[in-house]
Amino acid sequence: MFWVGDVGDPVGGRPVPGWEDLKERERALGLRERQPILVAPDGRGDPRLSECLRRSAFSAKAQGTQVTYAPLYRLFFTFLWQRGLDGDEASEDDVEDWEDWRRRGQANPAPVEGGTWGKEQGSLKLLYGIAAQRGLVPANPVTLASPSDVKTSDVKWLSPRAFRLWRNVGLGGMLPGGLEDEAWRGRPVGRDTAVADLMYSSGLRRREGGTLLLCELPVLGRRNYYAGRVGQGVAKRAGYTFTSAIRRSSTSRATG
């Protein structure tokens, strides 16, 4: 499996003979940057698969979702290849057998739970749905019912007071009563508590907040809330804007 644009510039800046116009070829075929390219064990690429993966139903997904889905396709196509089938020859029975092997196969060293299979099933249903709409397969073979054993997250809300206690004690080197913890050995207190405040008040995902640069943070003033933007390459939604209650100081502990 490869990603369009991942190869970078040729060594020494010299293109491979016969491939000098690679970027022009990619543009002519409508291949976009970071589009996954799956290659069969015999070295062949399937232009029909590339056609499906450049359709908006897939390309409009967040980059993280595409990075997750592409290896799942590779797994399923490898399963079909071992049966002597190409991707467009999958039947409902093949999908059912794949589900059985992924979840209960005795030879599978790492069976998956309902939640993981639900994600895999959704990825295959999306791909074959695109292929069926474009007449590349007779019908979508992914007809299994959604798994019934998906574990839902037991989400409990963390009150602002509980968050401040966790932040001050866990990251700020303070005792629950408000005094400094003399046994604390942490050093970047200001940085850690500031990041925690940003993530908690904005609702940013770890991938989004963890890649923010200092220059991308809003300039502080006298307001209670500040708006900022997350880079398109890491945002769950393109052009995502967040609002955060950023404060100048998180704890009173000295950090020198």
Mean pLDDT of 125-142: 96
Q: Which two tokens stand for residue 78?
A: 């490898």
Q: Does residue 12 lie in a domain region?
A: no
64 and 165 co-located in one domain: no
Cα 47 from chain centre: 25
Would you say residue 118 has pLDDT above 80? yes
124 and 229 co-located in one domain: no
124 and 185 co-located in one domain: no
164 and 130 co-located in one domain: no
129 and 229 co-located in one domain: no
Would you say residue 94 has pLDDT above 60? yes
pLDDT at 169: 93
Name which of 118, 169, 182 is nearest 148 in CA terms: 118
Q: Does residue 153 lie in a domain region?
A: no
**CA dist., res. 91 & res. 138, Å (int):** 10
Buried-state track 84-97, b at ≥16 Cβ within 10 A, e below 16: eeebeebeeebbee
204 and 106 co-located in one domain: no
Q: Does residue 26 lie in a domain region?
A: yes
Share of the chain above pLDDT 90, in %: 39
Query: Which has more confidence, 14 or 174?
Result: 174
Provide the pairing of β-strand 241-244 with 226-229. antiparallel
Query: Which has more confidence, 43 or 245?
Result: 43
pLDDT band at 151 (very low <50, low <70, confident <90, very high): confident
Q: How far lies 128's CA from each of 29, 95, 134, 145, 235, in Å?
A: 21, 11, 10, 16, 26
130 and 165 co-located in one domain: no
41 and 130 co-located in one domain: yes
124 and 39 co-located in one domain: yes
pLDDT band at 255 (very low <50, low <70, confident <90, very high): very low
Would you say residue 43 has pLDDT above 60? yes
Query: Which has more confidence, 97 or 199?
Result: 97
Segment among 80-84, 86-90, 118-122, 212-216 with least mean pLDDT: 212-216
110 and 36 co-located in one domain: yes
- Tell me which of 134, 169, 197 is where a domain ends: 134
- Tell me which of 90, 118, 134 is where a domain ends: 134
Q: Does residue 69 lie in a domain region?
A: yes
Q: Does residue 149 lie in a domain region?
A: no
Q: Does residue 172 lie in a domain region?
A: yes
Q: Does residue 71 lie in a domain region?
A: yes
- Tell me which of 116, 134, 152 is where a domain ends: 134
Q: What residues contact residue 144 under an 8 Å CB cut-off, 6+ apart?
A: 95, 96, 99, 121
73 in helix, strand or coil?
Answer: helix
**CA dist., res. 87 & res. 180, Å (int):** 62
Reported pTM: 0.67
User: For the segment 157-181, what is each residue's pLDDT rounded down to a tens digit?
Assistant: 788 899 999 999 999 999 999 899 9
25 and 111 co-located in one domain: yes
- What's the total number of domains in the chain? 2
62 and 113 co-located in one domain: yes
Residue showing tokens 């249903």: 125
Q: Which two tokens stand for residue 156?
A: 């409990």
Would you say residue 97 has pLDDT above 80? yes
Segment among 54-63, 110-119, 242-251 with least mean pLDDT: 242-251
The boundaries of the domain holding residue 43 are 2-7+19-134
pLDDT band at 112 (very low <50, low <70, confident <90, very high): very high
Name which of 184, 181, 179, 206 is nearest 195 in CA terms: 206
Of the ranges 27-36, 186-195, 220-229, which is most confident?
186-195
The identity of residue 204, as a single letter, is L
* 83: DSSP letter: T
Q: Does residue 140 lie in a domain region?
A: no
Q: Where do the DSSP E strands lie in the chain?
A: 2-3, 36-37, 226-229, 241-244
Provide the pairing of β-strand 2-3 with 36-37. antiparallel
pLDDT band at 132 (very low <50, low <70, confident <90, very high): very high
